[in-house]
A and B are shown apart, each in its own frame.
Chain A
Amino acid sequence: MHVDRLVRYVTCVSFALVVSFPYFALAAPTIDFSCGFDGQTMRHRFMPLRITVSGLVHPIEGSIVVHQTRRSAADTAFPIAYTVHSGMIENRVYRVTIPNTEPLNPVSVELLDHQRDVLAFGDVMLRLGTCEWPFPLFVTDHVLVDRTEPVVDPSELPTDWWAYDAVSSVWLMTPVVSVPVLEALGEWVVSGGSLILFTGTDFPRMDSPTFRKLLPVTTPYLAATADGDYMLAGKLRDRATSRLIRDDMPLLIVMPLGAGSISLITTRFEELTSEEADYIMAETKPAVRMPSIEQVVHEALRNTPVPRPPFLIAPILVGVTLAGVVVFSESRYHLKRLNRLRTFMGMFAGLCLLVLAISVWAGLFAGRYDDPIDVYQTDTTIRVQSSFGLEIALRTLFAERRVDVHVEHPAASFPLPPAVPSIRGVDFSEESTHLQSYFALQEYERRDLTVFDQGRIDIAMRLTPSGAEIVNQTDGDLLEGYILLGDTTYYIPVIRKGAATYALTESYLPEEKSALPTALSNWFPLRRGTVPWLLLIHQKDERIYAEFKDDGIYKQVRKVTLTIIEGESP
């Protein structure tokens, strides 16, 4: 009897253990991640990262940190850490975009709890997937076995436009319906990307307001051909041109958008003939990346004013003191002769008061520059508003002495370090959270960082026969606007808040304001075609006290903002 009971107990306990085993197995969190597109990346360009967290029994408070290392010429490894997410973490896919700073070393991802203990770890070597040149990206659910270019599913597409930094062209061969992805692709095109859209009978599945913004045609509809196939048709937009015809209908329509272009193929990929496919391949332009404006930015940095005490203060102090001494010294003879003791004592007291007064002034007010500038910084921001908006910020920092600095950046938009950090730089270490980056600058070291972001400018411009109609929905009036139309430049002194029509006065872009647009002329077609562009160029110098780790530094910051708004032709 007792034996039976014992057997029953043992059986129950064994059963409970077996049943609970998956629960304990689940309690071990794991991290799985992939870099780039289909594993392909490019050195010193941004790359998308998909981090899959699984095995968490319940959401935890913690962070996900991506680690890379960078080697110097002296073969020293410097850690670079990106905290890509902090807060509550659960079992799901986390998407971020980070720079690929050093593909020769592995990229590792850590899942940390709130005490910064490592719960899960994973690493991957990027070396084999790193390309030397930008590569085309095919978005399709077909398997293209004879190609080496990356092929991804629409669900793998990132929603940050700078994630396509290493891509030369994106081929949408299958419907993409995600609005954030389409927005990101539109922004990437404005920045210089090359997007190829396949439509045909897939069009109804992908049609959306955002998708229509990408289309080179207005009022699109499906039209049947003589062969019984369906092709997308519609009214071509102003700048769109038909490059290939099939059955008297446009097969390939190309439209420039911002610095890039969109190619619309009015049929599905599978319905193309090999000749047509070859022609489209040949006609497709690769993406144009913003050229280096290092020279312009560094010129702005070199011209940054240095706060300093005026030279005249010390001579003024000397002059006033000497004047007091001479007056006192010379007047004593007359006063002695006149035996005017009180006047003499009064003059002595006056001299003492004068010296004390200018001493206080010299110590407290004239010497207010007693906090020297630690870091000189130039923030050059280029904001573009076309059908889609984007923002590119170049931050150049220069330190007079070794100093720890932090640079703020938009959420989850990590700064891209330069390929060659600096001549003096010996420490490439960097620690970034989703809002700030921390690093050390050596004495007389300069470091350039590039930050990309989405952008939206609340200004719209349209040329009318009577002038320029501008709707300014920003916080206030804007000064000094320039409208570029071909080779002609028009000047608007003040763009008032709200809607107004401005008469166009022919002018020219002043030399001090033309440096940045000229440097960008090979990238952005400001002087080409019949598209009007509204330019706003502003510069501001300010002194900023930035606190960092219980310490503070003084920054002298020169902010240069170039706003480019695409207008509508009459």
Chain B
Amino acid sequence: MKLLSLLFDYRGDASMYVIPIVISGLVLTAAMPAASRLSELIAQPWDPFPLPFFLVYAIVSAVMAVRIGAGAAPDDIDPNYSTAVLRILARVTFGHFLMLPLITYSRILFPDGVLPIVGATAHILLVCLMLALIAMPMQIKAERRYQGSLVRRHVFLFLYFALPLLALLSEAPIIRAAALVSPINSLTVLLSGSGSMIEWVLALTIPVVVGVVSSTILRSNLRRSIHA
């Protein structure tokens, strides 16, 4: 029954899996063409545009990821940090696995190939893992202070998504590349099909680097605060 504790918290809450499927499913349904006759198509042209589906999928999954990260934090029942990390990996991966039918169906929005879908899905998975890994030490730290981490987690989430977009205001290519930190810009680049190899590498590497570095720093800070 270890699998059960890996996939669900002690309350057995399945909403972290259900909510992204429902909301993303609604957006995907809305992205389908409404016209059944040419006259309707002329009045309401349909341009296959996958970005809204993947943006909503990324945002809802990110919100759920910080929730998973906070929920998987070591507690009195299971104080092992490594097991907590394993829980995060299992829950985030399982959540994305359940999204697989919608992701494969979104291929209908890509007449020219499946590579952008693979890239965007991989990016969202890595971002969610990163956010969950960062949310966990934030939760532990807040608990030690007998505080909640809800606001802090979501402010961080908002800043992570929005703040790098300010780099797009710059003309310099190097500064503009910093906007790839935001999943909004990364997904736009990956799904446009016009992204260069460097942009693809950056989009997929940044979440890994940020996740590893941030969680390491936060964990070491946590240890220092415990020893202090």
Contacts and interface: CB of A to CB of B under 8 A. Distances in A.
Given A306-B40, A314-B102, A362-B101, A341 B29 contact: no
B121 to A, nearest CB: 12
A333 B8 CA distance: 11
A103 to B, nearest CB: 34
Interface stretch (A37-45, A220-228, A365-373): A365-373
A315 B100 CA distance: 14
Contacts of A490: none
B166 interface: no
A366 B1 CA distance: 36
A166 to B, nearest CB: 34
A344 interface: yes
Interface string B40-58: 1110011010000000000
Contacts of A363: 104-105, 107
Contacts of A352: 97
Given A309-B32, A344-B4, A355 B98 contact: yes
B36 A359 contact: no
B37 A306 contact: yes
B173 interface: no
B105 A308 contact: no
A314 B32 contact: yes
Nearest to A358: B101
Contact of A359 (B4, B28, B104): B104
A398 B37 CA distance: 13
Contacts of B8: 329, 332
B108 A371 contact: no
Interface residues of B, number: 39
A326 B22 CA distance: 13
B38 A318 contact: no
A376 B37 CA distance: 11
B101 A367 contact: no
B3 interface: yes
B3 A309 contact: no
A219 interface: no
Interface string B12-47: 101001100110011011001101111111100110
A302 interface: yes
A311 B101 contact: no
A555 to B, nearest CB: 12
Interface in A459-507: none
A304 interface: yes
A285 B17 CA distance: 80
A315 B25 contact: yes
A329 B45 CA distance: 42
A305 B36 CA distance: 6
A130 B163 CA distance: 69
A315 B102 CA distance: 10
A329 B98 contact: no
Nearest to A360: B104
A371 B8 CA distance: 40
B161 interface: no
Residue among A325, A345, A356, A376 with max Cβ neighbours from chain B (10 Å) = A325
A308 to B, nearest CB: 5
A244 B41 CA distance: 60
Interface string A306-332: 101101011101101110011001001
Interface in B165-180: none
A542 B102 CA distance: 29
A362 B105 contact: yes
B108 A367 contact: yes
A444 interface: yes
Contacts of A315: 25, 29
A303 interface: yes
Given A314-B105, A367-B105, A376-B38, A355 B97 contact: yes
A302 B39 CA distance: 5
B14 to A, nearest CB: 4
Contacts of B48: 372
B111 interface: yes
Residue among A326, A362, A444 with max Cβ neighbours from chain B (10 Å) = A362
A314 B25 contact: yes
A356 B100 CA distance: 8
Interface string A518-546: 00000000000000000000000000000
Given A308-B33, A336-B1, A321 B38 contact: no
Interface string A272-316: 000000000000000000000000000001111110110101110
Contacts of A314: 25, 28-29, 32, 102, 105
Contacts of B3: 344-345, 348
A73 to B, nearest CB: 23
A315 B105 CA distance: 11
Interface string A362-405: 11001101111000100000000000000000000010100000
A53 B12 CA distance: 90
Given A309-B32, A309-B33, A363-B104, 11 more contacts: A302-B39, A304-B37, A308-B32, A311-B32, A317-B105, A321-B102, A326-B18, A341-B1, A369-B108, A372-B111, A444-B42
Interface of B: 1, 3-4, 8, 12, 14, 17-18, 21-22, 25-26, 28-29, 32-33, 35-42, 45-46, 48, 97-98, 100-105, 107-108, 110-111
10 contacts: A308-B33, A308-B46, A314-B25, A321-B101, A322-B18, A329-B14, A362-B105, A367-B104, A400-B41, A444-B42
